[in-house]
A and B are shown apart, each in its own frame.
Chain A
Amino acid sequence: MSTRLQKGGRLIDRSAALEFSFNGKRLRGYQGDTLASALLANDQMLVGRSFKYHRPRGIVAAGPEEPNALVGLGKGGRFEPNQRVTTTELFEGLEAESQNHWPSLEYDVGVVNNSLARFLPGGFYYKTFMYPRAAWKHLFEPIIRASAGLGKAPREKDADRYEQLYAFCDLLVVGGGIAGLQAALIAGASGAKVIVLEQTAFWGGRAPVDGDVIDGKPAALWINTAVQALEAMENVTLRLRCAGVGVYDHGYVLADEKVADHTPGDGRPKHRLWRIRAGQIVTATGAIERPLSFAGNDIPGVMLAGALREYVVNFAVSAGDRTVVVTNNDDAYRTAIALVEAGLVVAAVVDARVTVTGALPERARALGIRVATGTAVVKVKGGKRVTGVQLGAQAGEGAVLEEIACDAVAMSGGWSPVVHLWSHCGGKLNWDVDQQHFRPDATRPPTGADGAAMVVAVGAANGAMTAAEALADAAKGAGIAVKAAGFKASGKAAVAEAVAEARMEPVWVMPQGAGPNLRAKMWLDYQNDVKVSDVQLAAREGYESVEHTKRYTTLGMATDQGKLSNINGLAVLAHALNEDIPRVGTTTFRPPYVPVTLGALAGESRGDIFQPLRRTPMHSWHEKMQAYMEPVGLWRRPYCFPRAGENHEQAVHREVNNTRTALGLLDASTLGKIIVKGPDAGKFLDMLYTGVMSSLPVGKCRYGLMCSEQGFLSDDGVVARIDEETWLCHTTSGGADRIHAWMEDWLQCEWWDWQVYTANITEQLAQVAVVGPNARKLLEKLGGMDVSKETLPFMAWADGTLGEFDVRVYRISFSGELSYEIAVPASQGLAFWEALHKAGAELGAMPYGTEALHIMRAEKGFIMIGDETDGTVIPQDLNLGWAISKKKADFLGKRGQERVYLASPERWKLAGFETLDSSVVPDGSYIVAAGKNANGQGNTQGRVTSTYYSPTLKRGIAMGLIHGGLNRIGDIVEFNTVTGGTVKARVVDPVFYDKDGEKQNV
């Protein structure tokens, strides 16, 4: 069994006991424990079930590479699935539950998949779900959806908050082990601004676990001294619990700081995402140990040798009483030695190498540990827990020569540098034959904005595997980075006592000649349940590229992203293809290095500040009136103002009727307003609009259209001539920023010698449309300026005062009624709006919303950008030829509109439609035509663009584009409907109401 030892544990505080629960069971641990060490201390080796076969799985590793031990953490608003117990710090009251099992961890029904394993080989999904289609939908998918998947998504809103931080430094060190600290000391001494990140809660990494001696002191002492020295440097920022997860272009690095994961609910943000811009990046990210591929290497109790040693040294936790170490290298002997020194039994070190004479093995032998050379683990015995190992010759095919009882297996297949951050932005790797791993090629680094190297890998991350090599390498790498960052490096490297290690031997399958039965029990990827046999099958089926094999077998595609499995998997693939490992190559390393919770990526963008809602000066009034709001771009505008007992439709109809018969008030503040001024402003606007604006008299307004260079209609609005050199251009509500940017683009990049200035003053002004037969009466009641037909005729504007407000009044109409649009400074918008309502009450004033606006403009046959246009419509399609100058030599879009296709008489053109039964044509309908097209689909001859119930005409009205346009007036056509039928409609003039415009011109 796994248990807590009586003595030791450099990271735990035995005076601070903590209580936590696992699957409802109350357990105890210590301050300083990880959830993994605390579970092991309570003999909870079994922590989960595998993804595909639901095999029992235990803790394998001690760091972020852990593939098995994923749990659901917390409750309710603080529940998080798929949390690795190895990177979860223990805290009082922690609640964890295992996942991917039913009904319980101990007795899981899904384990039936395990006995069906031979029917679920690599590529199973692709093969099985091809045919028949119905089986996928009704049989496979429901079963897989129910049984697969790891944790469950949280059901409640996240109770925590997250934030992001922009940080800048000359030099960023990722990794706080001895190599990272050494690099930071040198960088810090140079005066450069340095940030050092460490993903765990403590500095120093593995060195103290390995028993390294630095500058004559135990590693832990040197680490303390180094951290103190760094803390004293003002130019150095140190962050624990902060994982550098991605390196991006131009020195951009993302780091995820777990601020309060271990202190939930203490008022701090849960995570802080650091968005760092670094001049140079030093990756001191260490190395990850590789498993060995022998049968049963996934049975709980089989762990990485380094992890087993780490649990003993750091947490005083033994994985078992009696351990067998299996290895192909010298480093694993450190585990055997550490176990014996802690008073535990090492039954044997099983070493695949024939000759084993290194310093560490000799020390092990001197401690009385049995070393079995040239030997393999043929098979691990046990179900939910290791009970023993069967041994045979590594050179053999799996004949069992001996069986040893044990309750833990420590395996080591060698170490792989963590090259992820080096590789994210294009750093290349070399295959190191001696150490059998990929490591960074300093001659092919990731490059930055200046084309020079921006990342330096140091220490174990660079293949410098021993403490002595790592420190020397870190000093050298830091020197290079400091110089590249523009500083002068100084300071001496610390020196670690060298411990000679003999060469490791590549062992990708154990034993070497293992047959199919054994290979089908050798796990490569624990989390996705990919075995040696699956990769070999993929190779046989022609998947020669490692990228294809990855996707076919799902090797390395789980949440651990193959941290343990990638090298072993591609070595097996290379062997099966009879290729060299470097020729097969690795799959692409992509960020993030470890999973980042979505909350951290979203940062502050949640709830009320998810996106910037734009509010008009009258917004609070609308809210008070309980207006139903709709999004218009980022604006929120009242759709309608329902009264008690009204639904939205009734409210809209009332608003239309009231505006047409009495007085309606619209908050039109969102309308875009752009000032264009200068000696060349007229010439400029003539290029921008399809019509002529330079000839517009001061004091008058003119409707204008703007097109893209392709000729497509992009925006419309009323332009007012303010003075000789100044125009005010109104744009659509959604178009103000876009059109302002469009103007600046042409002025800055094409006609930069024209003397024109623009200013977007949309938000300076609140604007109110006063609409209806009583509109003039209301303004006259407020008093202060002459708004008569004679002084202020249709399409004119004037400055003046109304009541106590300075205003600019435009006589323009988007409804067909007598209408004034009145602008006041935004800071007075609300007061003005309230004054209009107060004075207008006796005239029947009511607010109206965007839907009433839409209906009234459709009744008048006015087009709406975004309804009648969709980026493929030209003004000519909408019968707006009258607004296009024939005289102008050029305007934006003119050449585009001359293209054959756009000039074709065959184009669909605007017309009105009235259904014969008075119903409303469904939104999105097409006008059907006889016959079918090449795809067997019904032909069409047009489509609806706007369709409403007109409360004024008491029937459905629609606008749409139809082949033949207004020439079709009188024709009866059919629109398709949602239910599959059609509805008949007559083609009519799109001006449904007040065709002669008498009402607006009074």
Chain B
Amino acid sequence: MSNAVSALGNASFDGFAKIREIGPVGMISLRAKPEVKGLAKAIKAAVGTGLPAQRQIEISGDKAAGWMSPDEYLLILPYAETAAAMAAIDKALKGEHYLAVVVSDARAVFHVEGAKADQVIAKLSPVDFAKMGANELRRTRAAQVAVAFWREGDGYTLVCFRSVASYVLGLLSHSAMVGSEIK
């Protein structure tokens, strides 16, 4: 809908890494056990990817499916396409025990870009980047709030709750200030 705006109006910050708020991005939280009949089909129909394995994110163009927990997946897609995807999921999982709910507006999404993007997040999250897989979706905290991030392009995509978007932009900007890079 034309009224839809992202949490921070695509605010950005340029430091030794670039921070950009993107969106609004379409997201669906899908709760189901991996063995549920039709789940792979539902994800394929909704975002065109396979069922992601533990802690993995499967990216296909502007869509993706991420593993959030043993019975939760995060589906990412263009904002306007959530209704169609929900319909496809409902069709594929009819009669099964699952819960699909649109959460596009509950989230804020950032790109952290640049060769030292990992340093920006390493100042906020207790994550060993050397041991993070190429397609790993890591759920953790950034300072005091929950986040999830994964590698994308020459940096990372990071998702947090919408209400704390301004806080998270503040965190990322503070960590990315010129002069703060680690040599």
Contacts and interface: CB of A to CB of B under 8 A. Distances in A.
Complex A–B touching at CB under 8 A: yes
Nearest to B121: A166
**Residue of B3, B101, B124 with highest tally of chain A CB at under 10 A:** B3
Contacts of B170: 608-609
Interface in B61-87: 71
B162 A166 contact: no
B122 to A, nearest CB: 6
A729 interface: no
Nearest to A636: B163
B123 A826 contact: no
A759 B29 contact: yes
Interface string B103-123: 111110000000000010011
B179 interface: yes
Interface string B12-35: 000000000000100001011000
Contacts of B106: 761-764, 826
B130 interface: yes
Interface string B87-112: 00000000001110111111100000
Contacts of B167: 608-609, 611-613
Given A267-B178, A604-B174, A612 B164 contact: yes
B174 A764 contact: no
A757 B101 CA distance: 11
A268 B181 CA distance: 9
Contact of A827 (B24, B97, B127): B24
Given A616-B163, A755-B97, A764 B179 contact: no
Nearest to B2: A804
A970 B99 CA distance: 53
Interface stretch (A393-401, A643-651, A674-682, A931-939): A674-682
A759 B163 contact: no
Contacts of A166: 122-123, 125-128
B166 A613 contact: yes
Contacts of A469: none
Given A764-B106, A825-B4, A612 B125 contact: no
A735 to B, nearest CB: 15
A604 B122 CA distance: 13
B126 A275 contact: yes
B24 to A, nearest CB: 5
Contacts of A91: none
B182 interface: yes
A763 B145 contact: no
Contact of B3 (A164, A277, A613, A827): A827
* Interface size grouping (class) on chain B: 35 or more
A740 interface: no
A162 to B, nearest CB: 10
Given A275-B126, A613-B166, A677-B99, A268 B3 contact: no
A191 B121 CA distance: 26
B171 interface: yes
A168 B175 CA distance: 18
B6 interface: yes
Interface string A148-187: 0000000000000101111110000000000000000000
Contact of B175 (A604, A635, A806, A832): A604
B11 interface: no
B100 to A, nearest CB: 9
B5 interface: yes
A75 interface: no
A423 to B, nearest CB: 25
Interface in B128-177: 128, 130-131, 143-145, 161-168, 170-171, 174-175, 177
Nearest to B1: A828
A759 B131 contact: no
B54 interface: no
* Interface size grouping (class) on chain A: 35 or more
B161 A605 contact: no
Interface string A758-797: 1101111100000000000000000000000000000000
Contacts of A614: 161, 163-164
Chain A interface, >50% SS class: mixed
Interface string A821-846: 00001111011100000000000000
A604 B163 contact: no
A765 B98 CA distance: 21
Contact of A609 (B5, B127, B143): B143
B5 to A, nearest CB: 5
Nearest to B167: A612
B3 A832 contact: yes
A750 interface: no
Contacts of A609: 143, 167, 170-171, 174
Interface in A211-227: none
Interface string A268-301: 1100100101000000000000000000000000
A757 B163 contact: no
A269 B179 contact: yes
A266 interface: yes
Contact of A168 (B130, B165, B166): B130
A838 to B, nearest CB: 13
A759 B143 contact: no
A830 B102 CA distance: 19
B123 A161 contact: no
B60 interface: no
A193 B130 contact: yes
A165 B123 contact: yes
B128 to A, nearest CB: 4
Given A267-B179, A759-B29, A805 B163 contact: no
A715 to B, nearest CB: 19
A615 interface: yes
A830 B103 contact: no
Nearest to A680: B97
A761 B101 contact: yes
Given A804-B3, A828-B3, 17 more contacts: A163-B123, A165-B182, A269-B177, A277-B126, A608-B167, A611-B144, A612-B168, A613-B166, A615-B163, A757-B98, A759-B101, A762-B106, A763-B105, A763-B161, A763-B162, A828-B105, A830-B5
Q: Which 5 A-B pairs have CB atoms at the shortest separation, nearest pair first?
A: A757-B99, A614-B163, A826-B105, A831-B3, A267-B179
29 contacts: A163-B174, A165-B119, A165-B122, A165-B123, A167-B122, A168-B128, A267-B178, A268-B179, A268-B180, A269-B177, A269-B180, A604-B171, A609-B143, A609-B171, A609-B174, A612-B145, A612-B168, A615-B164, A616-B163, A678-B99, A755-B97, A761-B103, A763-B106, A764-B103, A805-B3, A825-B104, A825-B105, A828-B105, A830-B5
